[in-house]
Chain A
Amino acid sequence: MKSQPPSSSGPSALLSPDSKSPDLKSAKGSGVTSFPWLPLIVALVLTGGLIGGWSYYLLKQPSAGGDFTLNHGGQNWHFGSRAKSLNLLYVGYVKCPDVCPMSLSFASQAFQKLSVEEKSKAQLIFISVDVDHDTAQSVAEYAQQFDPSFVGLTGAREMIDQTIRSVGASYVVENAPGSYLGYSVAHTDRLFFLDSKGRVIDTIPNPRSSELIVEKMKEHL
């Protein structure tokens, strides 16, 4: 019972010392000085936002495309010097019997629906991730049959891995001992849209129609 008064009076004693109460009153009265730290907080938030946004932008760049050099039919193929206004990218492998040729066929149909001018500003890059079985010649020849402008690329495994990782694609080579090929490659099934700097500006997951590809291409051209 005796301990109650001090505990209840403690906080009030802290909150209302004689020296502070006039300050609080005058603060209420003036309004302007009610939150003297407010501009500081606003400034901090803005600065933090700017720094955060800038860092995000800088960090985001490498994880969303960029420049690369791979191999086209035995020659170096440098994106930076071969890029068009719009560059579609698909990752797969030449011995893929089902998903890759389907996606490339839809892309090919989409290219056929573009005007000559639109088509001249766009290209499709097919990167084979099957380094052990696909050759620079086989990839280039394979891609060209879907559309003469399609560019089939391969290269050193490190370069391929780095390039496809930069756009957010991936693959896993799976052993299939009971199958004739003995392996298959699980890979990202997505059309990436890159601008002339190689930055990913759009994607179509599981492309299953040419209409959507045409629509997005026209939107970005």
Chain B
Amino acid sequence: MNLNFRLLGVVSLLTGMISLSPCLAAEVGVVGKGHSNLEISEARVFAPRKGSNTTAAYAILKNTSDKPMQITFQKMAPFKSVEIHESLEKDGRMAMQKLESLTIPAKSLLELKPGSHHFMLFDATASLKEGEMLTGQLSIDGQATDISFKVVPR
């Protein structure tokens, strides 16, 4: 009985996950050239503020493979330049350092979030509207992958 219930639980959990996965797929930001081992959620760009020429993009990145994944950030229109940065506390102050790439260990999540890792975006050449979708080009282990990010207010 116990085993049956457990089996039922596992089966229903798996069914749930499978049935949910299309919904997740619809939410995730992978567009066009996707990557089979990357799941991405909450991909968003904060609309730039007047007075500043920088802003940042965030997302939750999940490496579903059993190998570490290396990500570089190539570009995102309409920004002139993009970089990977990490905010971290140094000598009692918040500092930022540029990273060449991000490495997500096998079967792990990396959350890009305020006060931590983020994609830094410079000099938008066009004004951005809330709700607009922007395409960010990543390189995952050398493979070009397009991610769509939603422009959200602060």
Flag whether B6 is at the interface (Cβ < 8 A).
no
Flag whether B138 is at the interface (Cβ < 8 A).
no
A101 to B114, CA, bound (A): 9
Q: Provide the A162-203 mask, 1 if CB < 8 A to any CB of B, else 0.
A: 000000001110101011110010111100000000000000
Cβ distance A105 to chain B, nearest Cβ, rounded Å = 5
A175 to B154, CA, bound (A): 28
Interface residues of A in 135-166 (CB under 8 A from B): 137-142, 145-146, 152
A97 to B92, CA, bound (A): 19
Q: Which of B49, B94, B114, B120 touches A186 (beta carbons < 8 Å)?
A: B94
Flag whether A94 is at the interface (Cβ < 8 A).
yes
Q: Is the CB of A98 within 8 A of B50?
A: no
Cβ distance A182 to chain B, nearest Cβ, rounded Å = 11
B100 closest partner in A (C-beta): A178
Q: Is the CB of A97 within 8 A of B93?
A: no
B56 closest partner in A (C-beta): A97
Q: Which of A95, A97, A139, A186 touches B95 (beta carbons < 8 Å)?
A: A186
> Which chain A positions have C-beta within 8 A of B52?
94-97, 138, 142
Q: Which of A99, A134, A171, A176 touches B87 (beta carbons < 8 Å)?
A: A99
The verdict on A139 contacting B93 (CB below 8 Å), with A102-B114, A105-B154, A181-B122 known, is no
Interface centre among B46, B91, B94, B115 (most CB of A within 10 A): B94
A208 to B94, CA, bound (A): 13
Flag whether B64 is at the interface (Cβ < 8 A).
no
A94 closest partner in B (C-beta): B52
A93 to B83, CA, bound (A): 19
Interface residues of B in 79-97 (CB under 8 A from A): 80-81, 83, 85, 87, 89-97
Flag whether B55 is at the interface (Cβ < 8 A).
yes
Interface residues of B in 39-54 (CB under 8 A from A): 46, 49-54
A141 to B48, CA, bound (A): 12
A170 closest partner in B (C-beta): B93
A172 closest partner in B (C-beta): B93
Flag whether B118 is at the interface (Cβ < 8 A).
yes
By DSSP majority rule, is chain B's interface helix, strand, loop, or mixed?
Answer: strand
A205 closest partner in B (C-beta): B92
A205 to B100, CA, bound (A): 29
The verdict on A180 contacting B51 (CB below 8 Å), with A98-B115, A174-B95, A186-B90 known, is no
Q: Is the CB of B51 within 8 A of A94?
A: yes
Flag whether B67 is at the interface (Cβ < 8 A).
no
Cβ distance B82 to chain A, nearest Cβ, rounded Å = 8
Q: Is the CB of B154 within 8 A of A146?
A: yes
Q: Is the CB of A176 within 8 A of B93?
A: no
Flag whether A206 is at the interface (Cβ < 8 A).
yes
Q: Is the CB of B51 within 8 A of A184?
A: no
Flag whether B129 is at the interface (Cβ < 8 A).
no
Top 9 A-B residue pairs of the complex, sorted by shortest distance between their CB atoms:
A142-B51, A186-B95, A102-B114, A138-B51, A189-B94, A97-B54, A180-B81, A186-B93, A97-B56
Q: What is the interface of chain B, defined by CB distance below 8 A to chain A?
A: 46, 49-56, 80-81, 83, 85, 87, 89-98, 114-115, 118, 120-123, 154
Would you give 8 A-B contacts (Cβ < 8 Å), ordered by A?
A: A99-B115, A138-B51, A139-B51, A141-B51, A142-B52, A180-B80, A186-B94, A206-B94
